[in-house]
Amino acid sequence: MRIYNTLTQQKEAFKTIEPGKVRMYVCGMTVYDYCHLGHARVLVAFDVVTRYLRHRGYDVTYVRNVTDIDDKILRRADENGEVYTDLTDRMIHAMHEDEARLGVLAPSDEPRATAYIDDIIAMIQTLIAGNHAYAADNGDVYFAVDSFPDYGKLSKKKLEDLVAGARVDVQEAKRSPADFALWKAAKPGEVSWQSPWGDGRPGWHIECSAMSTKCLGDTFDIHGGGPDLLFPHHENEIAQSECATGHKFVHTWMHAGAIRVNKEKMSKSLGNFFTIREILEKYPAEVVRYFLVSSHYRSQVDYSEESLAEAGRTLTKLYHALRGITPAKDSDAPETDHDRRFAEVMDDDFNTAGAIAVLHAVANDINHHRREGDDEQAKRSAAILVRLGGVLGLLQQDPEAFFQADTGSELTADDIEAMIQARADARKAKDFAGADRIRDELLEKGIILDDSREGTTWRRA
């Protein structure tokens, strides 16, 4: 199994620190607003990583933090006229709802920054004692970047270039413009915690170092996150963590690719910024997940109405193969070349695009066996499709539930069934024009009928 390591910029053979066990930390949300499409990209990408590692037999401890204290949180709570904890609790609940709809499994642990204040303060004290940090006159504490010779090893940025291009705010008391805050002195009336340097709150970067090492140890296997976190967040995590512990922080760094909307960077200023909730109002959750999984996790994904529609069409083909068939028991569907090919592509840096191709190959087998009248082999292939699909978090619904899911249509399932019965009655009375009118009316409202010897089934377009 090989994983692309952002640190070395190449694929490397994956070797765990502890045999059979994987310890993984992924930077989670700063919970001041609803999760957006970029968050969905990261959530789904590392959900697939977790699912596949477990499928391969690893005991995975997956930690994904929540940043529940931050400038943006305090600013938004003040704008709303509410206590900041009310805002964060509401946004965390909404995040969990979005995750569940997208089929994202809950992490093994979900630490909140505010529950680790003592650990954060202890790590800062260790850094000060080791001359890697200093308390400024204004009550802030800063990390001294020049005390870590390897600074820039993840992002490949040179310290001298960062210093030359940096700008120091006149109110800051940094020794060097590249230094960053570990502890921020509280402004009047601002939420704060007591510390040896006065009342304040932690800087963003130190939160993840304290939480990850507390939950997973000084050194762990995988650290992941979105593409925007590589610098400065992850670079700063490495510096402060390795200076505090004296050990290598992380073996493998993984970063998901960026999301673009209609070939432009997603941003609120461009008006192309979508929350997960907004997207799920228009598209079934599994279609959105399929869209995200069908591209390699490191690739840039271009979101558009057309790309979601195409994802819906291709996922529909897979569910069509499963429709009207009861998969065999997994024990009756032993490993095949499809399983081996699936493992081969997923072992190559979690190549989900290749894995999706395998799913379609299995679906083709099912359709072939059905045409040949080999129902038993079709059932065994269906079991393989469901098994492999589950590794990607796909194809776990009953096909009829997928086809008939209500995505805001004016027609309920009962309405549709009544119209199908009326059409059947019209055909029985040889009123074929009336039957065709009913079919056309349903089609206009996005309902597609499929006639077979077993009867008529329907699906939403």
Binding positions for ATP are 268
Q: Of the candidates 428, 410, 420, which has an alpha carbon nearest to the alpha carbon of residue 448? A: 420
Q: Residues 6 or more apart from 29 whose CB is under 8 A from it?
A: 35, 39, 66, 67, 91, 95
Convert 189-218 to b/e letters by CB count within 10 Å (16 or more is b). eebebebebeebbbbbbbbbbbbbbbbbee
β pairing state of 220-225 and 21-26: parallel
Instruction: Write a three-state SS string for 151-185.
Output: CCCCCCCCHHHHHHHCCCCCCCCCCCCCCEEEEEE
Alpha helices, DSSP H only, in 56-136?
71-80, 84-101, 117-129
Under 8 Å between Cβ of 362 and 342: no
Binding residues for Zn(2+): 27, 208, 233, 237
Pull the structure tokens for residue 5: 């390591």
Convert 228-246 to b/e letters by CB count within 10 Å (16 or more is b). ebbebbbbbbbbbbbbbbe
Binding residues: 27, 208, 233, 237, 268
Going by the DSSP 8-state scheme, the letter that residue 198 receives in this structure is: -
Cα three-residue angle 336-403-357, rounded to 5 degrees: 30
